[in-house]
Amino acid sequence: MRTPVDLHADVAEVLVSEDAIQARVRELGARISDDYRGKNLTLVSVLKGSLPFMADLMRAIDVPVRIDLMEVSSYGGTTTESSGLVRILKDLSASIAGEHVLLVEDIIDTGLTLNYLIRYLRGKNPASLRICTLLDKPARRLVEIPVDYTGFSIEDRFVVGYGLDYGELYRNLRFVGVLRPEVYSAGS
């Protein structure tokens, strides 16, 4: 049986408040609306972390927009059971050929996943491909990728909430917070 977790008690600090997130999402939505007016825009969200951001962002955009969802596997260590390569777990449900695509991410740190996704999506011949992320951790970047829309540039700390998880929990927090180190130390 799962041990009960006190979500709020496990958070040491609120890094980005709910109000700040909502205000920034509105700003991003307005910018994106201006930039894509008169164009066929498709928002592509990467599951699972970007779901809350996607849900809020699409409602802050006032031009016609399609949405689609993708899910990719993440590195998880040693086993003998899989191919050892990143895989598309859920592909796009419609063609993006000729569409203006905006990839919506929750957070960019190393850029490894994003680098893979960009290469994959470019192969589907969109009219354009841009990146929007709620959070950017530039200090951790390994693959330099130009980000077109950034919510917040944050320091190098492990964050949860507003879609971001630790051990699949904390996604439903309405803010972005920093976990108490003892939470993941105990979990390791």
Partner 1 sequence: MSDPRSAGPVRSAPPAAPAPPPADPVVEGSPAFAHASEAELSRILDFYEVRWEYEPHVFPILWNTDGDVLESFAPDFYLPDLDLYVEMTTLRQKLVRKKNRKLRRLRELYPDVRIKLFYARDFQALMLKYGRLALAEELSGSSGQVTPDRPYEELLAGPLEPSADDGDPGDPPPDPATAAPGAPAPATRRRRRRRSPVARPPVAAEVTER
Closest C-alpha to 50, from 117, 3, 2, 5: 117
Give Dmax over CA atoms of the chain in angstroms.
52
Among 91, 155, 156, 182, binds partner 1 (CB under 8 A): 156
Indicate whether 75 belongs to the interface with partner 1 (CB under 8 A): yes
Sort residue 39 into left (φ over 0), alpha (ψ -120 to 50) or beta: beta
Indicate whether 81 belongs to the interface with partner 1 (CB under 8 A): yes
Q: Which of residues 124-143 bind partner 1 (CB under 8 A)?
A: 140, 142-143
Catalytic residue among 10, 56, 109, 136: 109
Indicate whether 172 belongs to the interface with partner 1 (CB under 8 A): no
- Of the two residues 29 and 163, which places its CB atom closer to partner 1 in the complex? 163
Tokens at 126, concatenated = 């969109």
CB of 81 to partner 1, least distance (A): 7
128-136 and 159-160 as β-strands: parallel, antiparallel, unpaired? unpaired
CB 45 within 8 A of CB 70: yes
Closest C-alpha to 49, from 147, 133, 128, 144: 133
Indicate whether 86 belongs to the interface with partner 1 (CB under 8 A): yes
Indicate whether 3 belongs to the interface with partner 1 (CB under 8 A): no
Q: Can you give the binding site for partner 1, defined by CB under 8 A?
A: 46-49, 71-87, 89, 106-107, 109-110, 112-113, 115-116, 140, 142-144, 156, 158, 164-165, 167, 184-185, 187-188
